Amino acid sequence: MKKLILSLVMFLCLAGTAYSQNRTITGTVTGKEDGMPLPGVTIKVVGAPGGAVTSTDGKFSITVPSGGTALIISYLGYISQTVRIDASNTINVSLASDSKALSEVVVTALGIQRNRNQVAYAAQTLDGTAVSENRSPNLGSSLSGKVSGLEIRQNNTLGGSTNVVIRGVKSMTQNNQALFVIDGVPVANNNMNTNDQQTGIGGYDYGNPASDINPDDVESITVLKGAAASALYGSRGSNGVILVTTKKGKSGLNITVNTGLTLGVIDKSTFPKYQKKYGGGYGPYYGTDESNYLVDNVDINGDGIPDLVAPLTEDASYGQKFDPNLLVYQWDAFDPTSPNFGKATPWVAAANDPTTFFEKPLSNNQSIVISNSYDKGSFKLGYNRDDQNGILPNSNIQKNVVNFGSTYKITDRLTAGADVNYSIVKGRGRYGTGYNGETAYNPASNFRQWWQTNVDIKELEAAYLRGKDRSAANPAFIGKENITWNPADYSVGSAPIFWDNPYFSRYENFETDSRERVIGNVNMNYKVTDWLNLMGRYSLDTYHQIQEERMAIGSLNVPMYSKYYQDYTESNIDFLATFNKQLSTDLNLSGLLGVNIRKQRTQSTYAITNGGLGINGIYSLNNSVNAIEGPIEVDAKREVQGIFAGATLAYKNTYTLDATIRRDASSTLPKGNNSYYYPSVSAGFVFSELLKEEKDWLSYGKLRANYAQVGSDAPIYITQNTYNIATPFDGRAQASISSTRGLIEAILANPNLKPEQSRSKEIGVEASFFGSRLGLDATYYSTKTVDQILPVKVSTATGYDAMYQNAGSVVNKGIELSLNGSPVKTSNFEWKVNVNWTRNRNEVTELFKDDAGNEATNLSIASFQGGITVNATLDQPYGTIRGKDFVYLNGQKVIGANGRYLQSETSNEVIGNMNAKWTGGINNSFRYKDFNLSFLIDVRKGGSVFSLDQYYGLATGMYEETAGLNELGNESRLPISQGGGILNEGVYADGTPNTTRVPNDEFGSYGYRRLPDKAFVYDAGYIKLREVIIGYSLPKTFIQKLGPVKGVDLSLIGRNLWIIHKNLPNADPEDGISFGNVQGYQVGSYPSVRNYTVNLKVRF
Amino acid sequence: MKKILLALVPALFMMACTKDLETLNVDPKKPLSVTSASLFTRAQHNFVDIITSANVNRNVFRLIEQQWQETTYIDESQYDFQTREIPDNFWDIFYRDVLNNFEASRKTMAVDITDPAQLKNQIAILDIMEVYSWHYMVTTFGNVPYTEALNTGNAFPKYDDALTVYRALLTRLDLDIAALTVGQPSLGAADAIYAGDPAQWRKFANSLKLKMAITIADADNALSRTAAESAIASGVFTANTDNAKFPYVSATPNTNPVWVDLVQSGRKDFVAASTITDIMNTLNDPRRPLFFTLDPTGNYSGGTPGRSSAYSNFSHPAVLITTAPFPGNILDYAEVQFLLAEARERGYNAGALTASAYYTAAVTASILDWGGTAADAATYLTQGSVNYLTASGTYKEKIGTQKWLAFYNRGVDAWVDQRRLDFPVLPEAEDALSGFPNRLTYPVKEQNVNNVNRSAAAAAIGGDVVETKLFFDKN
């Protein structure tokens, strides 16, 4: 050390004396491709301190000591040049851009930049344009198909959540979402949705907060896939990390403005086609002798003679055959505002089926980013406004994001910086999800499962609007705008029986929400020596959100108003010492030592009116009919204290050995078991360094292998049993072990929990060929997660549904493959291809076993309407779908004597598996002069989905296949006696083919009633044309005339344009119910939306 | 400067760290302990709720018993119990929400009730409620986990023989009856049924004992006789004022669950079943307007069991029983009088009256309790088809039919006795998925988490299907 300092002093002295006579050199730096001046380029004299930066017009002026021989001209993203200084005092340079240069540096855990050769684990980097140029407001969903090992699932609700899982589900019941880290700040990506929402019962999908990131602010994204890459993050890194690096102020003033307009149109292949032959009803059992499809025993017009009336109370389409000559009193005959009031009208199929309920929304997006840097520091300021309208009436999400970042050099060694990202997201009229939420109406479940094909959507809209006009004119009608097609009886102004008018629901029973959020950090960097750096940082992610839900007077459900407040704060204090020292010419040692304190707190309050609303239109808790029940409060705290260290030894830039260790102590685990270690070790071998001279076809080659152990702490507050307080009963206090509101569950706490552990191994190869025209990255990994902290489902005879235990293990094994190539590359034309492919297999290898050897064979993760469960089943992949199956004989379905399928005795047969066989994406991009075109195809192979929409929708006879011809060529809806009915395909128990036709003149033969659950499990695979981008950049010759303008890009963008192939009828196989571990189930699925965007980007 | 900064760093960390991390892991919003009284109240509430409920996910016994019929979605009327996981829900509510809370209350009482006499009374009352809960478990499923149940140390409880459990329950009742001491302090208001009155609870326990004794009349006649006789001797209900009524209130969430299911929901899922309206019409039953509304033709009519039925065409459950504060009824005087009548017919020493007199008292008590008049009852009983001495059929048919009518809106109880007495004969539901359900199958969850024990129990009772007859159902 002493020697080192001495030699340092010597060096400094020499540097001070060597140069004495100066001269000034000036010049201009331009870009090679476009000839435009490059501002902010760094100019340095070789071997001398100091330097200069080009101005906005690319000009520079630098003082050169007399001994100076050459200038180094460098600029991020361009190939640096060294120019000899000769007699001339003017040097003009043109720099060639270097796409490769960026990929040479890899951002790794904690934001540490590493030379690619020294990275011995899988890390895939994307340029920020990957998430910004498609103009999608959701950063997570933009990653689909672009990174191997990463599985993105999104649903089709407006602003709904996106599921981001790296390398499969590892923890059976805890969070498996990848951790987002923005410039070193871990960002919460919590689930905002209720348990009811997640199990398809009902509720709004409030999205997940990872979408509060402005895609335009993203410089690059690095996905750290394996545990070795993310072990330094401790327990939080166990699911992989998505590192987002935001834009930093670059030299020179840069202003980029984006303005875009998006049109959304539903993809009709993801919505049902309705039959147009039969109208509302469940079958022939209305009227006097219960044999009619129409009601014939009610006198509507008061003439004393019974009239023909549609069975209005029924939400199905197994009714009377359409006949324009048949005059029937329909729902609008009971609407006093309707021109058809009191009139019988022709019994015909609706001109406007529910497809017309969906709007074609226009959304717009504006953003501006201003950045600059100067010798003392840099700053950037960005603003993004995204105003999205949904396909449902009265749905809108507004997002405003401001971000500011600045650095300042206090001294040459001390730098201070701060970043702040402020966002406010406001939602109104988010889509209801699930089957039939008490509070959140889902029109898709209405239209897909329970509908009358004679009901015209546009007439319902008109009825709602007329009702609104009427109530505006006469207060006596206030609250009676809900003129529905599905009234409880045949009286004027009847309350609904099962369904409100969908327009009433959308316009009166909407939710509103807002989330204000600050993500930011302040940091200081102190460069102790040129090889040692100290960094201290305080970072904060905090948001405050309000969700308000309403149910208006006049609704089917109990009128209500609810308010939910949530405050979330996470703070991190980090201190990090990093060093990088060249020990000898061949040996480099770099490393780090750090501490981290993480504190999280969630506080929330939920209150809801009780028993209805007193005054119409007032959404206030004090407008409750009965005294409200006590609000539900949550106050959850967690603190994790971590220390960590890492070292990387590199020999000849060829061999790398890397080791890290972290120790965390968490507040959620019991004392004595609360601290745990995460070690990792990685080795890399860049074989191309050895072959460089001999093999010119090999541009780069690296082998890497690693092992890591990471873990997770427990959910908050599960080490002690607590009681639930229930609303007092007529003055009597009530308390219970099982929860009394919401989730009815009793889980036994465990004071002896220890952390769950995950061990992973990975080997990979990275290579590029032919001057990097072809690149390959392949990885094989295996992860075993043991001692999982599970609410082990136990016999409820214990008094509990589940008990927290360290039990069970899951193994994930997989292959990740990325290929990139440039098959054609000329100065005018370039074709690039990127392929990503992922295959993950997982298996539940252990569940709960007691000392006596009793073993649980299944852990139900969620149970759904229809008796379907999604499970962790022993010796099966995680995420088996279980329910009733057919009975088979030699592979054929067995049919009973009555012509109906036999069903398995138990309802826990494995009938599907939510996991894809593999996923992949192919992106092709072409550039011809100023035009570019790219398209991304996203593929998911296999996996299954249970569709509750098909389960009910087929039963209620709305779909075309329920009203077709049978095997005799007759209308299947005719009575069997007239040649109707359907013939189920299968054999009798004795193996002979079925010949017993079953009736189809009423509901039951299709759909849930007579078919096992298995009949509604479909292959969830798809091939999607995910993104198409056509871009045009104004030619530079033209730009030069535009004064300060540096570039103008015009692009046409299409997202989710075409599902090239799918096996799930009537819906988008990608759509799920929510965010989280439970997938493979669809209910009330919204159609996918094709988005067409025009975007103009101007750079100044 | 540098030194100061470097010294600051550790100081800052020391300040930022919480010393005893685990102290953070205590939920400030949920108590670690509560009073035994609050647990008892909740458990009793849960018990009455599940017995009273008309929720199609939990309590579908009015449908099985053909008191009601579903209108459009007739799955449960056709014995589809799997789609809505009814066995799971019924089982879970009893073990988890009723019995486990009673057990928690029992454990807490030992701590928070310091007067030994009061504790004795309270434990006895609590134990009576538990015995009643077990009665429903074994008469619904057959063999169930009992000796190893409610023990968190055993995640895989074995199932016990139902009749053995039943005998043990009767023993428990004897101890409870002996323990109840009039004049000593008790639960008070926490008991919403009798305000802790030991005298009332003793009558209740004796009435329950009589009910349970008669339930096993065909399974263990000797025990049935001794238990019934000792219960009668000790003192059962003597008037409608003894009825065990649970005082639901008008304000949610403490309303009668039927109001929630039928009125608050806005749904129109149920009409009368033709089985009950046909019988009542034939008998000119004065309870018709108390049970049902009139149909559009001004008559009482019901939908055919298992067939879709238009809501507007048939009678509906009467307004009275669908009001929010309509009391829950878990055991009443009419039922006791029917039990006495049957005890008499079985030759037990059942007090002074004849079977006919008990029957008459039972029918009269039911009519009065439902809001009819004594004159209504007298007129009704003079009919040849109603009067015990003239009505056709065996005692099982006569008592079975009238008890079944008296058990209107108490589907679970109707189901137990209708299976045991085999009257009234219920027509087969149309298009049914199975034969008549003599039990509920074991929950799907037990197949997943406790299958070795479940399979053994299934084999022991003769198969885990709904048609399997249970221990008390001998014919």
Confidence of residue A102 (pLDDT cuts 50, 70, 90): very low
Question: Under a CB-based contact definition with an 8 Å cutoff, are residues A402 and A383 in contact?
Answer: yes
Contact state of B192 with A746 under an 8 Å Cβ cutoff: no
Give me the pLDDT at residue B5, please. 57
User: Can you tell me the distance from the alpha carbon of A551 to that of A556, in angstroms, rounded to the nearest whole number?
Assistant: 9
pLDDT exceeds cutoff 90 at A697: no
pLDDT exceeds cutoff 90 at A154: no
Chain A partners of B430 at a C-beta cutoff of 8 Å?
Answer: none
Contact state of B34 with A884 under an 8 Å Cβ cutoff: no
Tokens of B278: 């046909």
Q: Is the peptide bond before A311 cis (omega within 30 degrees of 0)?
A: no
The pairing of strands A179-182 and A241-246 is: parallel
Q: From B269, which residue of chain A is nearest by alpha-carbon distance?
A: A497
Chain A partners of B28 at a C-beta cutoff of 8 Å?
Answer: 635
User: Can you tell me the distance from the alpha carbon of A999 to that of A972, in angstroms, rounded to the nearest whole number?
Assistant: 8
Nearby residues of A863 by Cβ (< 8 Å), 6 or more positions away: A199, A869, A870, B85
Give me the pLDDT at residue A13, please. 38
User: Can you tell me the distance from the alpha carbon of B102 to that of A1084, in angstroms, rounded to the nearest whole number?
Assistant: 40
Positive or negative CA dihedral for B359, B363, B368, B373?
negative
User: Closest partner residue to B22 among A282, A670, A908, by Cβ?
Assistant: A670
Give me the pLDDT at residue A132, please. 85
pLDDT exceeds cutoff 70 at A747: yes
φ/ψ of residue A709, rounded to 5: -130, 120
Contact state of A313 with B450 under an 8 Å Cβ cutoff: no
One-letter identity of residue B464 = D
Q: From A571, which residue of chain B is nearest by alpha-carbon distance?
A: B16
Contact state of A796 with B443 under an 8 Å Cβ cutoff: yes
Give B333 or A19, the one with higher predicted confidence.
B333
Contact state of B17 with A797 under an 8 Å Cβ cutoff: no
Nearby residues of A1071 by Cβ (< 8 Å), 6 or more positions away: A155, A156, A270, A1082, A1085, A1086, A1088
Confidence of residue A14 (pLDDT cuts 50, 70, 90): very low
Chain A partners of B192 at a C-beta cutoff of 8 Å?
Answer: 729-730, 732
Nearby residues of B146 by Cβ (< 8 Å), 6 or more positions away: B134, B159, B160, B165, B168
Q: From B26, which residue of chain A is nearest by alpha-carbon distance?
A: A717
* Nearest C-alpha neighbor of B172 from the set B226, B221, B203, B134: B134
Q: From B249, which residue of chain A is nearest by alpha-carbon distance?
A: A730
User: Closest partner residue to A737 among B32, B104, B151, by Cβ?
Assistant: B104
Q: Residue A982 gets which letter from DSSP? A: B
Task: State the smallest CA–CA distance between residue B283 and chain A in angstroms.
Answer: 25
Tell me the sheet residues that pair with A565.
Answer: A546, A605
Mean pLDDT throughout A952-979? 95
Backbone dihedral region for residue B452 (phi beyond 0: left; psi -120 to 50: alpha; all else: beta): alpha
pLDDT exceeds cutoff 80 at A9: no
Chain B partners of A869 at a C-beta cutoff of 8 Å?
Answer: 444
Interface probe, candidates A595, A729, A956, chain B, greatest B C-beta count within 10 A:
A729
Mean pLDDT throughout A787-808? 91
User: Closest partner residue to A526 among B5, B150, B431, by Cβ?
Assistant: B5
Positive or negative CA dihedral for A149, A153, A158, A161?
negative
Please count the helices (runs of H) and the strands (runs of E) in chain B: 19, 4
Chain B partners of A575 at a C-beta cutoff of 8 Å?
Answer: 9, 13
pLDDT exceeds cutoff 50 at A5: no
- Among the residues of B260-410, which ranges form H helices? 274-283, 288-291, 333-345, 355-370, 374-382, 395-406
Question: Under a CB-based contact definition with an 8 Å cutoff, are residues B472 and B216 in contact?
Answer: yes
Task: State the smallest CA–CA distance between residue A856 and chain B in angstroms.
Answer: 5
User: Can you tell me the distance from the alpha carbon of A386 to that of A372, in angstroms, rounded to the nearest whole number?
Assistant: 25
Confidence of residue A118 (pLDDT cuts 50, 70, 90): confident
Give me the pLDDT at residue B260, please. 93
Give me the pLDDT at residue A263, please. 96
pLDDT in tens, A849-882: 877 778 888 888 888 887 788 999 999 999 999 9
Q: Which range among A78-87, A499-508, A556-565, A1046-1055 shows the weakest confidence by mean pLDDT?
A: A78-87
Give me the pLDDT at residue A115, please. 80
Q: From A901, which residue of chain B is nearest by alpha-carbon distance?
A: B433
User: Can you tell me the distance from the alpha carbon of B49 to that of A115, in angstroms, rounded to the nearest whole number?
Assistant: 68
User: Closest partner residue to B156 among A741, A854, A908, by Cβ?
Assistant: A854
Confidence of residue A97 (pLDDT cuts 50, 70, 90): low
Task: State the smallest CA–CA distance between residue A209 and chain B in angstroms.
Answer: 25
Euclidean distance between the first and the last CA atom of chain A, given in angstroms as a whole number? 49
Q: What is the ipTM of this complex?
A: 0.94
% pLDDT > 90, chain A: 60
pLDDT, averaged across chain A: 89
Tell me the sheet residues that pair with A868.
Answer: A864
pLDDT exceeds cutoff 90 at A8: no
pLDDT in tens, A908-945: 899 999 999 999 999 999 999 999 999 999 999 999 99
* Nearest C-alpha neighbor of B419 from the set B52, B48, B61, B58: B61
Q: Which range among A188-197, A302-311, B276-285, B449-458 shows the weakest confidence by mean pLDDT?
A: A188-197
Task: State the smallest CA–CA distance between residue A963 and chain B in angstroms.
Answer: 20
Contact state of A856 with B448 under an 8 Å Cβ cutoff: yes
Give me the pLDDT at residue A429, please. 95
Chain B partners of A880 at a C-beta cutoff of 8 Å?
Answer: none
Confidence of residue A76 (pLDDT cuts 50, 70, 90): low
Task: State the smallest CA–CA distance between residue A596 and chain B in angstroms.
Answer: 9
User: Can you tell me the distance from the alpha carbon of A171 to that of A176, in angstroms, rounded to the nearest whole number?
Assistant: 6
pLDDT in tens, B61-85: 999 999 999 998 888 999 999 888 8
User: Closest partner residue to B310 among A285, A797, A860, by Cβ?
Assistant: A285
Residues in chain B: 475
Question: Under a CB-based contact definition with an 8 Å cutoff, are residues A870 and A181 in contact?
Answer: no
Confidence of residue A270 (pLDDT cuts 50, 70, 90): very high
pLDDT exceeds cutoff 60 at A757: yes
Chain B partners of A534 at a C-beta cutoff of 8 Å?
Answer: 6
Contact state of B150 with A495 under an 8 Å Cβ cutoff: no
Report CA dihedral (A484, A490, A496, A499) to the nearest 10 degrees.
Answer: -60
Ranges of chain B with pLDDT below 50: none
Contact state of A668 with B25 under an 8 Å Cβ cutoff: yes
Chain B partners of A721 at a C-beta cutoff of 8 Å?
Answer: 32
Contact state of B152 with A800 under an 8 Å Cβ cutoff: yes
Q: Is the peptide bond before A49 cis (omega within 30 degrees of 0)?
A: no
Question: Under a CB-based contact definition with an 8 Å cutoff, are residues A835 and A820 in contact?
Answer: yes
Chain B partners of A642 at a C-beta cutoff of 8 Å?
Answer: none
Tokens of A235: 């327990």
* Nearest C-alpha neighbor of A206 from the set A508, A513, A603, A632: A513
Give me the pLDDT at residue B9, please. 61
Question: Under a CB-based contact definition with an 8 Å cutoff, are residues A395 and A507 in contact?
Answer: no
Q: From B144, which residue of chain A is nearest by alpha-carbon distance?
A: A797
Chain B partners of A860 at a C-beta cutoff of 8 Å?
Answer: 445, 448
User: Can you tell me the distance from the alpha carbon of B193 to that of B209, in angstroms, rounded to the nearest whole number?
Assistant: 18
User: Closest partner residue to A797 among B30, B32, B157, by Cβ?
Assistant: B157
Model confidence, pTM: 0.88
How many contacts does A have with B, using Cβ atoms within 8 A?
279
pLDDT in tens, A760-769: 999 999 999 9
User: Can you tell me the distance from the alpha carbon of B145 to that of B164, in angstroms, rounded to the nearest whole number?
Assistant: 12
Contact state of A526 with B452 under an 8 Å Cβ cutoff: no
**Residue A409: C-alpha distances to residues A185, A363, A525 (Å):** 22, 42, 9
Tokens of A974: 């005719």
Question: Under a CB-based contact definition with an 8 Å cutoff, are residues A364 and A399 in contact?
Answer: no
Question: Under a CB-based contact definition with an 8 Å cutoff, are residues A1091 and A1052 in contact?
Answer: no
pLDDT exceeds cutoff 50 at A18: no
pLDDT exceeds cutoff 60 at A456: yes
**Residue A962: C-alpha distances to residues A311, A952, A966 (Å):** 19, 12, 10
Task: State the smallest CA–CA distance between residue B253 and chain A in angstroms.
Answer: 8
% pLDDT > 70, chain A: 95
The angle subtended at Cα B224 by Cα B222 and Cα B226, nearest 5°, is 70
Interface probe, candidates A410, A732, A849, A880, chain B, greatest B C-beta count within 10 A:
A732
Q: From A414, which residue of chain B is nearest by alpha-carbon distance?
A: B2
Contact state of A794 with B266 under an 8 Å Cβ cutoff: no
One-letter identity of residue A1100 = F
pLDDT exceeds cutoff 70 at A17: no
The pairing of strands A560-582 and A587-608 is: antiparallel
Q: How many CB atoms lie within 10 A of CB A735?
A: 26
Contact state of A799 with B103 under an 8 Å Cβ cutoff: yes
pLDDT in tens, A679-695: 999 999 999 888 766 67
